[in-house]
Amino acid sequence: MLHTYKLLLALFPLLLLSGCANPSWTAAGKIVPPVYKVCPLEGKWTVTQNLAPEGYAGETNLPAEGGTAQFTRELAVLGGYVWNKPSYKIKKVNSTDYLMTRYIALNNYFVSMNKEVDVVTVYANLNFLGEFMKINDATVIAFVQNKALLLRKISDQADSPLPVADTNIRDTNNESNIGTSGIFIGLKIPSNNGYTYETLWVASDDKKLRPVLTRNNIFFPRNSGFWELQVRSDLKNGTAELFARDTAVKDSATQGVSEETSLQQAQKRNTAIAIDYIGNDYIAIENITAGTSILQVLPVDKLSTQIGVKVSDLLGAKGLTAYRSAREQALRSLRDEGVALLDEVADEENFGLTRKNGHWYLQGRINYQRNGMAETREFPINIIPPANLILYDTLYLSWQNIKDRVPNALDVFTSPNKDIAIIETKNKLYIYGISDEKLDSLPMGEIEIREGETVIMAEWATGSYVDIWERAFLVNDAQVGENAP
């Protein structure tokens, strides 16, 4: 017995130590992001070749052949651009598959077929800069602004200090106050068969308006680049499909490479999809099937799941509490009205976004029947939408000032630079300058819209990103609008 007691005493510390370590099976399904002590592109590089000279032909501050690029954890310098505190994300890809998604064909001199390579995505201030495919430690292909540049490393160390004082170099982090702003505006347009969609580009330099650009469908920015979103309806079969694709990826029909995510509804009568909101990573839709209309918030990368995001997953415990409280209040109101056949089972996926007085608001929906007819009741969810759903939603003007200047204003969007505002009315979008947190006396321009058109997206760019976004839009079939100022 004494020996047994001593053995237990000896084993007890070991049991304590083993309890501090996770067993191997508990780590299954967890993704631990790597911590990079050095920048994945650390050093100084020179541009040896433009591999896609047919790309955007306008002016650019990207380095020409013989130019340099430098990267550290603190700065990224690429030609005439400087990004402070850049972020780097590494993914491993098959070289052949990856290059097929780009508008470029490379011979084996640059990269071996089907070789696994690292692709480094660079961000700054949550804005996408570009992707850099590492052929080896000394050779990189940079995909930036629809260009493909071959970079050779000439030093493992960047210059110290980096030449940020050069007057020809533009510091993107310090440009937010010089009055260069641009906005992608997504429009939902009523049609005989539901809705069509359009994207406008409005930009100004020191309150001098650039030509307004436009294209069909929704063109929107993401951390991985620029994407297109469209609804495809088949009236014959009564189906609707929602597609999102990376615009840098080639047409899958001709290249055999699919980089689309899609939501395809089952073939039921009166099936339709209406987009209510578009953000970087999520969209909010109204899904109409066989007379039943529900709201859904969907992740852009997982449209094919056909399952909306749950309130608890997106808004957390506080959001779920706010949702349940608001829903119960709406249910009580319906009970008081004597509504029959009411489904009172909580549906955490039946919620979305609505726009009012310069802000996006969360709302839930209850589906029920009254006198045999399907009806809906919306209710507000009293919680601020999280940043991963809506990155920017700030209004720098008072509604009193807006109404004083534009009495029939329905909505307004203001630039992070506080220099321009877009005022929405029933028939026009007015573009105003902002001075001292008030609208200027006269608009810089106006855009005709049809009654019933609504804004479902407003994505702002400032500083040098205005040029980057505008070039990407032009490369992807944007044209000067017919009624552009």
Burial of 196 (0-12, 13-18, 19+ CB in 10 A): middle
Collapsing DSSP to helix, strand or coil, 190 comes out as: strand
In the Cβ-directed half-sphere of 152, how many Cα atoms lie within 13 Å? 8
From edge to edge, which strands make up the β-sheet containing 260-264?
218-222, 225-234, 239-246, 260-264
Rounded Cα distance between 156 and 158, Å, is: 7
Q: What are phi and psi of 159, to 5 degrees?
A: -60, 145
pTM over 0.75: no
Question: For residue 380, what are the contacts with CB-CB under 8 A and spacing of at least 6?
Answer: 326, 361, 362, 363
For 218-250, give the DSSP string: EEEEETTEEEEEEEEEETTTTEEEEEEEETTSP
| pLDDT per residue as tens, the chain (485 positions) | 444 444 444 443 433 333 333 332 223 333 334 445 678 999 999 998 887 655 444 445 677 788 888 999 888 888 777 888 888 888 888 887 777 665 455 554 456 666 788 989 887 766 677 889 898 889 998 888 667 888 999 988 888 766 543 333 444 444 444 578 999 999 999 988 789 999 999 999 988 999 999 999 999 998 878 999 988 877 666 677 888 988 887 554 433 334 456 665 544 444 788 999 999 999 999 988 777 888 999 999 888 777 889 999 999 998 999 999 999 999 888 888 877 655 656 678 999 999 988 889 999 999 888 877 788 899 999 888 988 899 888 888 888 889 999 999 999 999 988 899 999 999 999 999 998 888 999 999 999 999 899 999 999 998 888 988 999 999 898 998 765 55
- CA-to-CA dists, residue 157 to 73, 135, 154, 193, angstroms: 12, 19, 9, 59
Q: What are phi and psi of 173, to 5 degrees?
A: -75, -20
Question: For residue 232, what are the contacts with CB-CB under 8 A and spacing of at least 6?
Answer: 240, 241, 242, 243
First-to-final CA distance of the chain: 95
